[in-house]
A and B are shown apart, each in its own frame.
Chain A
Amino acid sequence: MDEKESPQTILQFAPLNSSVDEGFWHSFSSLKLDKLGIDDSPISITGFYAPCSHPQVSNHLTLLSESLPSDDSIHGNRNKCPVPGILYNTNTVESFNKLDKQSLLKAEANKIWEDIQSGKALEDCALLSRFLVISFADLKKWSFRYWFAFPALVLDPPASLIELKPASEYFSTEEAESVSAACNDWRDSSATTDVPFFLVSISSDSKATIRHLKDFESRQGDDQKLLFGFYDPCHLPSNPGWPLRNYLALIRSRWNLESVCFFCYRESRGFADLNLSLVGQASLTLSSDGSAETVPNSVGWELNKGKRVPRSISLANSMDPTRLAVSACDLNLKLMRWRALPSLDLNVLSSVKCLLLGAGTLGCQVARTLMGWGIRNITFVDYGRVAMSNPVRQSLYTFEDCAGRGEFKAVAAVKSLNQIFPAVESSGVVMAIPMPGHPISSQEEESVLGDCNRLRDLVESHDAVFLLTDTRESRWLPSLLCANANKVAINAALGFDSYMVMRHGAGPTSLSDDMNKKDGQRLGCYFCNDVVAPQDSMTDRTLDQQCTVTRPGLAPIAGALAVELLVGVLQHPLGIYAKGDNSSSSNDDGSPLGILPHQIRGSISQFSQMTLLGQASNSCTACSETVVSEYRERGNSFILEVINHPTYLEDLTGLTELKKAANSFNLDWEDDDDIDDDDVAVDL
């Protein structure tokens, strides 16, 4: 500050900086979308500023959400002195760039000049700090480009600085005390707290008085010192802030003073801080002709990090609804982890890829529950279309999906998931699953084998497979493929009022793993308990048998259980190798979610549910080593043979032999012939 004290130094002003609160852009976006539309006429706005209150940081001119015009009148307070401004928002980035910035600035500077001349600026001194913003709001990307100007009338020749020092050094102790007290009163009174320009007069007995600018004439004569005070947003000890520029222009033009003593008011913790505040002496060169007609030149476009470029801000994180939905959903799961399940591994869930075979009542429920658990990657396979009867039971579809022939379920389900949660990664494959016992002609062979390959690829590219189709035989190939690729398979099936949900064990080839040697046993698959190979269950059936007629509450229950079972597997330290628990099992092997059963069967007619355990069978038509090896050796020709020759699988696995020998394989499920997919087994 010392070097500035030599006479004839040009008085330099620290530029004002802008700060735009997030809330302003939020409010502006809604104003633009809901009300303005493409209307791009200028908007009157209100900026706010306050005296500097930090020794190292300047205050800013801030736009807040209440800066936009509204029905409520603006209330200033000590930290928010309102300043009038104008906003030119363009509809395109091109028109933003094409704006004539010099003319816009000049227009605002003219208003300031007129207000000085008319005396309006004496009545309402905030008019001296009038500002201007140009902007372009990209509401699709939630990013905003903007540029502030704080128009300043240029004194020609410039004011020179005689001296500048901290107010505490300038004033005597008594004066300092009195000035502080007067300033604090000014700032504490609601009538004056947001009046940023004022006169400080100090009488010969060191008493300071603060007055409005309009009282300049009335006070003259009786004071020893007169200082032109203003709220200084700048923190620098070496320079006054920007508002002094137009203040000096006013002082020179209105009162023709050659020597001006100015007081840069700054504060700490809401009180005048005279160490931070400055008092300076400037000398002005008066214009010879006192020309009020010629408007001075003006400057004032804000620099961005020292460069003459607009600023930009991206608010996608707080405005993009998709991002907000993601963080809100994550939060829910985090809460669960934090509150009840500290060891829950959410990353496993968000990264697991699920393949849903079937997008009917079960598929819809499973997909919804998966999303509830934060599972983001869901693929549907289904060949059907949404029929008129579907939407009331199949929770992803609406009436609109039935229009015309009906949308493919695999397509409609994906669309629906995206509507529910836009961050989901979902895809749909319209495809029929090749089934044993449904012979095909040689012309169809190629396409059916193509489907087999697609299904194989899908199983291999996912981590977990849900078997949710409405027939028993359509589950055979997926069961085999999962056993072959050692993927988690979850199977859910519905009867009229009973359901079955199970997880398949690991594939037979994984037996060499240490994990399995220990137990020596794998869990069974859907076909392990059967003594017949899957075959055509659809021909020769009445309509109510063909369509899965079930009590409507079943699918939500079974779908939810299927997902909970998968989550249990994913959270279990042994994963697919986890042994099957039953209700009386103690939960020592550490799944945070409790026991992990192999099968759950329930009946709504009894409102009962039980867990069951079944080991893998060596004669299983889907997951036995015999079948999996045969598939690996012969690939598609093996599958073709299965499809076309109903007895082939039974011969291969020795079931034909077995059936002759005994019927001891029957489980205690004679009563449960409502489980449609078990009908064949039970009917034996």
Chain B
Amino acid sequence: MGGRRPVLLAAAGALLLAGCTSEGTPGEGTATSAGAGPSGRSGASPAPSASAVNDAYTLAESAAPRTRAQAAAFVRGLTVRPDFFGPGYRKRDPYETGPGTWTVLGEDCVWRREPLAGTVLASLTRSFVRPDTDGKGPVFVSLTVTVHTSVVGARRDMAVSLEEPLRCPRQQLNATERVQGMTSRGDPYDEQRTATSDDDLAEFGEYVVDGDGKPRRFDWFKHRLGPVTVAATVRHAVGADEAEKTKVTQDALGGVTFVTADIDRLGAEQAKKAGVSGDAAEGAGDE
């Protein structure tokens, strides 16, 4: 019937930055459509009765790596190309960090690289740079894929990430660099906000280098697919204007979505091999 024509979730892939920042006036929320990632999703043609909730990028626990060796192979085996994040990126040196260590924000608000927690099987960070070509400065992007032992473990890790900017408004990265003023939001897929995976977290703030006059914008995304998290950081060029920063953020978020879509596909294939139907595996990702 015409009246039940589905209205497409036009902004489903858009990143919505709503709400006030720490220094904002309450109630004066800002709603900015900051662009969409690659739309490899089938969400464009749902049947009227189909629920978009089933469309999250996810990974069933049963299809996820079980051992540290499997997890290390999994994170290394993912295809992550520099141009996922936009034109002009290349690998940094060193390119990979992990998979036996990860970074932890201490009680003292200092980030340190530590051995993996017992609930984590592997964590691999890949680093990229878009070299300075126009005098505005380089852009740095990192992508970290972490395999947890369980969905619950990954959920707890997302909660930890949301807690970090609340307990540490200034986070020291090393002797001279820190991030500060981070505001965050976490969007479970089933709330129909902007999430593309089971749970999407986004944080925005400043990256400060001692001695530099001007802070750079800093973005942090972390998407959860069942027991796996995919996080990205973006350190913007110091001289970029707002439009350029928005473009860089959009492109980087697009890169995250290439990776999460790939993990979703791998999981579905894995489930099929194991004789479970793809649909069942998809739905089982979070429950």
User: Is A bound to B?
Assistant: no
Using a CB–CB distance below 8 Å, which chain B residues touch chain A? none
